[in-house]
Amino acid sequence: EQDGRHTIVNEPIALADVDVRAFIAKANVTDMPWCLHFEGYVVASQIDVVSEARNKGMVTSMHSAGLDQAWLRNNGDLVLCLFDYVVLSREALASVSGKQEPRDGLLELHARSARLERTPEVIVVTLGAAGALVMKRDGTLRHIEAPRVVVRDTTGAGDSFVGAYLTFLLHGVDPFVAA
């Protein structure tokens, strides 16, 4: 806005496979946690490097913003196997689980995960003003209320949530408290 109350900065990026592979190969992963995080916009094009990051000792995470829902529906088990932390919108959860009710969708993913080689530590479903559902690997599920605020603009709200959430998780905070 002209008075500067609302400013939106958008810098679309495109990652080439070689860029991320080179980063992973050069990374000196130490005792401090490294997290390779992908927004949904690049998950499909970068999915092949996620296992390399894990093998290097990095924590892997993704959130569904911009992720093609048909791709997610067809590759849901792969996403569950490769990422340590998964954040989904309620729409993405419905696409991957086939369930419209978020709690039912998470329970469906948990049941499917039982037959997978590896599963996420935590799956979060964002619910906008209604907060988030958080499910740990063991199936423990909690609804976390969103703080009551005056909403001025929802642009970037999901990105802000994911950034803060991962920051807390990577510093050892319990997933429910982080949410």
For the stretch 6-64, pLDDT in tens is: 666 666 666 666 688 888 988 888 877 789 999 998 999 999 999 999 999 999 999 99
Residue range 110-134, pLDDT digits in tens: 999 889 999 999 999 999 889 999 9
Q: At CB < 8 A and 24+ separation, what contacts does 139-146 make?
A: 139/110, 141/103, 141/106, 141/107, 142/176, 144/176, 144/179
Spatial distance between the Cα atoms of 3 and 15, rounded to a whole number of angstroms: 35
Residue whose pair of structure tokens reads 């949410």 in the numeric block: 179
Calculate the CA dihedral of residues 79, 80, 83, 84 and round it to 10 degrees.
170
Spatial distance between the Cα atoms of 80 and 37, rounded to a whole number of angstroms: 14
pLDDT band at 136 (very low <50, low <70, confident <90, very high): very high
In the 8-state DSSP scheme, what is residue 99? -
Q: What pTM was estimated for this model as a whole?
A: 0.89
Is residue 45 classed as helix, strand or coil in its secondary structure? helix
